[in-house]
Amino acid sequence: MRKVLISTDFSENAMNAIRYALELFKYERSEFIIFHAYADEVYENTLEMSRELFEAFREKVQERSDRELQAILKEMLSISPNPRHEYNFRSVFGSLVDVSNDLVDSENADVLVMGTKGATDQREITFGSNTLQVIKYVKCPVLAIPSRFHDVHPKHILYTTDYMLPCQRRELKLVSTIAKKFVATVHFLYISPFSSLSFRQQDNKFLLSCFLSDNKTQFHQQEGKDIPSRIHTFIKDHKIDMLVMTNSRHSYLEHVLHTSKVEEIGLQIQIPFLVLQNLPRN
């Protein structure tokens, strides 16, 4: 059974991500666990409280969180009364990254879904700070959904890679399954100033082609240094409706996440963004 974690801050952006996930995994037996991490909410509003009042306020926040999560589950059942799906919820006192990682471990989750932005929905910011922290540090694939994206039937998936590291089979299987269910083509894009591949890159490219042999795939190679611009152009030219990148040391995404370039990509990409963490997991 597919285990899907979905983080919510009870915003419309988060609800849009929930709708997307329900449709994306409609063909699979899946358990959806909707969770809300509420420590920041408590701490930000209790700066001058006594410990006794703090604990009482914390209990109030959890009770409110539980009620709102139950309302979301009710809405999910009305949206998708899918016999293949199970729904559960968690209200957890902790930071979003810590709670996410704890649930990833305890539930052996396949993917964590969230909106690209939270309740503030600032238009000039593509990735909210919480989304960036989750993408950087949570130890399972993260699927970030833009607030204004509603087409949940991917036909062209772009996977940008430098072929330097072999990918984890479990994470590749997630990509393969999504593509297969929607009969989507997976486009692999390698961007480099150099035209040739090393033996390591050739071997890893071959492994990718073998693992996705049941999928429709196309391999592309472009010379250049401006990765965000190349990605943006490729997305437009090939009508891409999901972007996949791997977050690992010295990868395209690591460079993007640790520089201002994350907004160069984000401001121009308004499609679901699946981040693989390339970590060995059962």
**Structural domains of the chain sorted by starting position, each given as residue range(s) with its CATH number in brackets:** 2-145 (3.40.50.620), 156-276 (3.40.50.620)
Residue-wise pLDDT tens digits, 124-181 = 444 567 888 898 889 999 999 988 777 789 999 999 998 988 888 999 999 999 999 9
Mean pLDDT in residue range 106-115: 96
Mean pLDDT in residue range 113-121: 70
Cα 212 to Cα 177: distance, rounded to the nearest angstrom: 10
Residue-wise pLDDT tens digits, 213-244 = 999 999 999 988 888 888 889 999 999 999 99
Residue-wise pLDDT tens digits, 247-264 = 865 455 555 555 444 545
Which pair of structure tokens corresponds to residue 115? 């909106």
* 122: DSSP letter: -
Total count of residues recorded for the chain = 282
Closest CA to 277 of 139, 117, 101: 139
pLDDT value at residue 65: 96
In contact, 197 and 205? CB cutoff 8 Å: yes
Angle at 281 between CA 111 and CA 137, to 5 degrees: 60
Residue 60 has pLDDT above 70, yes or no: yes
In contact, 13 and 147? CB cutoff 8 Å: yes
Identify the residue with better confidence: 215 or 41.
215
Residue 86 has pLDDT above 90, yes or no: yes
